Amino acid sequence: MPKLPKVKVYFNSTLHHFSQLLAGLEYLSTKNEIELKYALDLGKYPIDIFKIEYNGLKLFFDMADNSRIYDKIYEESDFYVKRMLLKTDYNSRKRLIPYGLYYPVYFRNSYLKYLFLQNKDLAKYSIKYWAWASKFLKIKDSIAVNEISKLESEPSHYDKIVFRARLWNPDNNKENWKKKERKVLNAERIAINRIFTEQFENSFKGGILKDNYSEKICPDILLPEKHYHRKVYLEELRNASIGIANQGLEDSIGAKFGEYIANSMAIVTSPIDKFKLHGDFEENVHYLTYHSSEECLQLTKRLFENEPLRKGMQFANLEYYQNYLHPANKMMHIFNLISRS
């Protein structure tokens, strides 16, 4: 019987961006497909970096929203696995591996559940892995809400469209480019929500998250308080066939993109073609691309009215989820890419 791959995680960060990675590794471990160990390693690397040893190779997983690469960490690595990986970087650096699409998702994990015993400061993080406690405390980013099985579904036959979004206050940043970026991002999210609310009425499940900033900017399209909870949002995803996505901070692909695919939805998105993803993830097969709020409306109407096109895209994304996005299959695909390199 062949030896199992040996994987050791150096736990460095409580960022929810790592939940998918951790869920995938633990899932593979429970299926006896890898030999998994953990070590607490706080503060040695930036908060968006995890170090993982895979069969003696030193891997660094960079889950930042931006496309920057830590040059010193890259030089230290055998392979550098980057979430927002530009195709230009991928083609010019041999040790780069794409991480691909991300979404927050949990799987039971005894090590993380009891991590607070090693460091009391991690109690708030550990509680996310206690189903009853996180449910009682209404922690939306937890295993009670985001367990793998609750975040996946087969194609829905309902003609529903989803686009929830939040705004970012430009004044919370000192850099002018960040202020401008947030203004553009906010304007697009507001415009799409207003147009879709008018055009699709009851078929549209959208709105802007209510906070002090959005109350001043767009009080007419704020989400009702009863829809705030993530459970409501996940139910909407399971019962919708089309998801709208626009760029996240620093032009990243946001978590909702992965959530749409995990729920087998057709997708209309702002451009994502500059990033390297796993497999053959193709425009007009897995998603449609818009460049303005008006074009977003036109493409969504096309999907809404063309059932064969919409269903074909939904089933293409179901297959993509099963091959490349399910946490365990994502991690195994990454390890296979590394083994073949």
Side-chain half-sphere of 3: how many Cα atoms within 13 Å? 5
Task: Tell me the torsion sign for CA atoms 319, 320, 325, 329.
Answer: positive
Q: Which residues contact 132 (CB under 8 A, 6 or more apart)?
A: 144
Q: State the pLDDT at residue 275.
A: 97
Q: State the pLDDT at residue 250.
A: 83
Q: How far apart are CA 50 and CA 64, in angstroms?
A: 11
Q: State the pLDDT at residue 335.
A: 98
Q: State the pLDDT at residue 178.
A: 86
Amino acid at 117: L
Q: How far apart are CA 63 and CA 47, in angstroms?
A: 9
Question: Residues 32, 34, 35, CA angle at the centre, nearest 5°?
Answer: 95
**Residue 268 to residues 71, 130, 192, 237: CA-CA distances in angstroms?**
34, 36, 12, 14
In the DSSP assignment, the letter for residue 83 is: S
Q: How far apart are CA 145 and CA 140, in angstroms?
A: 6
Low-confidence ranges of the chain (pLDDT < 50): none
CA torsion, points 267, 272, 277, 278, in degrees to nearest 10? 30
CA torsion, points 16, 84, 257, 296, in degrees to nearest 10? 140
39 strand-pairing partners: 10
